[in-house]
A and B are shown apart, each in its own frame.
Chain A
Amino acid sequence: MTLALYYHEDYLLHEHTPTHPERRERLQYTMDQLREEGLLDSPAVDICAPEPASTADLHRVHDGEYLDRLRYMSRRGEGQLSVDTHVSEHVWEQARLAAGGVADAVEAVATGTHPRSFVMARPGGHHAFADDGHGFCYLNNTAVALRRVQATTDVDRILLWDWDAHHCDGTQSIFADDPSVLVMSTHQSGRTLFPGTGFVREVGAGAGEGYTVNVPLSPRTGDDAYLRVVEEIFEPIAEQYDPDLLFVEAGQDNHFTDPITDLGVTAQGYARLMERAVDAADELCDGRLAASLAGGYGIEGGLPYTNLAVIASLAGLETSNIREPALYEPPSASPGVERVIDRVKERHGEYWDF
């Protein structure tokens, strides 16, 4: 089992502001950890160099006018898409390279060059809409990737599980009326966190009705509660949807040390979640599983360990010793998830059997 790990030094170039939470050492400390673990020199991992997404790739998802605007702003190296989403001179090239990395990673799995893949890219993509960006996102990497493999390979039906702490508002809007991509998002409820969307009642529209599944969680939700959501919502729907490929948008901002969210997942929890994704892919789609880093701002106590956990799970390595140093104390209690599970089952009972 060799995992394709897509990474490029140019993913470090873009900076919003010197103290912005979405900054390059999110990747640097993780790469240090992977290097020191010996993973980057190990047969378990192939380091793969991404290519920038092509113009055709971008036009499958984004409006030409928005692409022109973003390229122009980036050339000038200034401006903002929103109060916290800055455009630097590196944004255009780096966002294309991030989208291209995710697309290459999904393609590698779709065409069978690697059984599984993971992308360590910046910037993220899931808050980018067809015609605008915000939430530290410019191009919707995942949408660009999934549209490319649908256009160029025999993969048709894709199950997208976005477990980032933030609701994937951009991705949801792009696939809202499309049953060929089922978007399931588990996130901290929009009542307490940006972007304020992703409620149970948002289920997709038109032909896509029932193919958008939102599971908004209370602050401090921890490992066991997440695993219950996996068992009671994710797994039954995944089985019935029967995808050709599983994609996980693996945001690491559910970690209990994350400074801009309020969830309670541990590194061990991340290892378990990714193991469940691996099992689902093995069972439903010949193991085809691609994943990408999304958010995650617990730069010191979170990312090195959570990224290691998901990468080790994907690479089929032992994960039992992966945890945060004792310096960081996980929350002792998690709120229940029975109520949200019931509400999802009730709303989606119309489309799926539970």
Chain B
Amino acid sequence: MHVGIDTGGTNVDAVLVDDGIRASGKVPGDRDNPVEHLLEELLDGQQAVERVVVATTLLLNAAVQERLPACTNVLVPGPGLSPERAFHGEANHVAAGCVDHRGRVTEEPAYERRPATETVAVTAKFGTRNPEPERELRETLDSDAASVALGHAAGPGLNFPDRAATTVANARTAGTFAGFASEIDDALDTVGVDAPVYYLKGDAAMLSADAMATRPAQALRAGPAASALGLVALTGVEDAVCVDIGGTTTDVTRVTDGFPVTEPVEAGSLETGYDGVRAVDLPLGGDTRVAADGLTGRREGHASAFGGDEPTLTDALSVTGALEDTGGALDSEAARTAFESFERPRAVAAGVVDSYVSRVADAIASVAPNATRLVAGGVLAPSLADRLADAAGIGESLVPDHAAVAGAVGCATARVSVETGIHIDSARGTVTVSALGTETEPVERGRTFDDDEVATLAIERAREAARRAGAQSDTEMPVNVRHTRRFNVVEKARVAGQVVDATAQVEPGLGVELGGDR
């Protein structure tokens, strides 16, 4: 049994999934210990929980609202283009030292200053070819640095300025993530669930909690990733635009070839090299407060129809008679009363529904201009899917069963994905593997590798990284070896060894098929 938990801005949703959806639930996120209450309600103590997978919008919200701590960005740029290209911290300190393209330390690292903040990122040029200088600098930092992220742990690949930005994003989100993860751990302890915990990444794959803790910026787009993957799992669509209508926000994403489309993620002042689902995140949802002149873009509480005090989009749907079954007790009288404060309640209600539909249609046009199918999730999906499709000029709309908890379904059906870079330099006698971190190990000097050996090694190391990130079986680990190159290293007119590069990815995908076949 997989437990999927989606903690959004308004509600916390959870599902239990094995080869189908066994139970689901939703509680308001503003009550005390919502995860604990929800799991207590869903789990009857009989099910063996294999894994718990969590998505949160907490990091994204903190980033967008600029609530993350400031970071001192310590760089070891060595010679090259201006280090300012990598100045992504609130403070930026240039340290001495140089790692070259073969991972050799050609100048000793030295950091003479003190970080200006408790949050610190340390990134060396070519740090993914040799992690030692970053580790050495970390040792010299005062122990009162609360959170230190190292560039070589950000992921494989070469791009020093991007890696510095990503490392800063990891350092700045680390505290928020750690706090959230420990709340989840406490809730699971309380309800007696002792299963491995995973977090959803923005690319709709998951990582173990430990792996995510070193690169939490990967979770920035987890919210829209969860709902997009959930809608794929529930419907089996290959190509569609997905609209997830939440209480506070509406996420518009796109699916092609059976998986959400991704792009490098930016959020607030953070830039990362991580892929996340391409999403337009509108600040409008069922709880968005309505004023006489239309939608405010703010949430002040629940819809009146669900026990709130103010008129909302949900209430507007109720007043216009468009509100379909929401799966819960609904007070349409309260909705009507809330709208009575307006001079022309029905006109205001119809106007805000129109305005919501047209703003979502604009978002659809920008994310998926040629989409021919719309899949909707969220409590209001049955009430709005057809109208949204009409407004966007899309012929077919689809609201699967369990659409209200699509994000939680996405969590429960995700699998592990890790990208791994391998750099062999047998003239130096080293193999450097970058995946969840960067490690250098010895290899026989002068050894050569043929293409098959390189591919085998890449697949092995990618699976090893995926296992460390929590993948449990080889069937969950289709590996794509993306790039290899090989050449001789000549020293003193002799072939001294080989340099070999390979990148391999255990690909994202659905870890559980729910049988949707659209």
Contact = CB atoms under 8 A, between A and B. Distances in A.
Interface string A19-56: 10001110011001101111101000000000000000
Nearest to A311: B81
Given A326-B106, A326-B107, A327-B106, A28 B487 contact: yes
A33 B85 CA distance: 15
Contacts of A324: 79
A24 B499 CA distance: 11
Interface string A295-339: 000001000110010001000011111111111000000000000
B161 A325 contact: no
A342 to B, nearest CB: 36
Q: How many A residues touch the partner, as a band?
A: 20 to 34
A33 B106 contact: no
Contact of B158 (A19, A35, A267): A35
Nearest to A9: B485
Interface string B486-498: 0111100111000
A172 B415 CA distance: 63
Contacts of B162: 38, 41
Contacts of B125: 36-37
A227 interface: no
Contacts of B494: 19
A38 B161 contact: yes
Contact of A23 (B80, B102, B160, B487): B487
A127 to B, nearest CB: 21
Contacts of A112: none
Given A308-B80, A308-B81, A312-B81, A36 B490 contact: no
A206 interface: no
Interface in B36-93: 77-86
Interface of A is mostly: loop
B100 interface: yes
A12 B487 contact: yes
A325 B106 contact: yes
Contacts of B485: 12, 28
B370 interface: no
Contacts of A327: 106-107
A267 B494 CA distance: 27
Nearest to A32: B101
A325 B133 CA distance: 15
A300 B490 CA distance: 10
Given A19-B494, A19-B495, A318-B82, A29 B101 contact: yes
Given A305-B79, A324-B79, A36 B159 contact: yes
Q: How many B residues touch the partner, as a band?
A: 20 to 34
B384 interface: no
A326 B487 CA distance: 26
Contacts of B79: 267, 305, 321-325
B421 to A, nearest CB: 12
A326 B161 CA distance: 22
A25 B107 CA distance: 23
Nearest to B161: A38
Nearest to B86: A38
B168 interface: no
B160 A37 contact: yes
Contact of A300 (B78, B83, B100): B100
B98 interface: yes
B81 A41 contact: no
Contacts of A267: 79
A261 to B, nearest CB: 16
B199 interface: no
B109 to A, nearest CB: 13
B488 A23 contact: yes
Contacts of A33: 80, 101
Contacts of A41: 159, 162
Interface in B474-518: 485, 487-490, 493-495, 499
Interface in B392-414: none
Q: Which 6 A-B pairs have the closest CB atoms?
A: A325-B106, A38-B161, A36-B158, A318-B82, A35-B158, A32-B101
Interface of A: 12, 18-19, 23-25, 28-29, 32-33, 35-39, 41, 267, 300, 304-305, 308, 312, 317-327
5 contacts: A19-B495, A28-B487, A39-B81, A267-B79, A320-B82
Given A325-B78, A325-B100, 14 more contacts: A19-B493, A37-B160, A38-B86, A38-B160, A38-B161, A41-B162, A300-B102, A304-B101, A305-B79, A318-B82, A318-B84, A319-B81, A320-B82, A321-B79
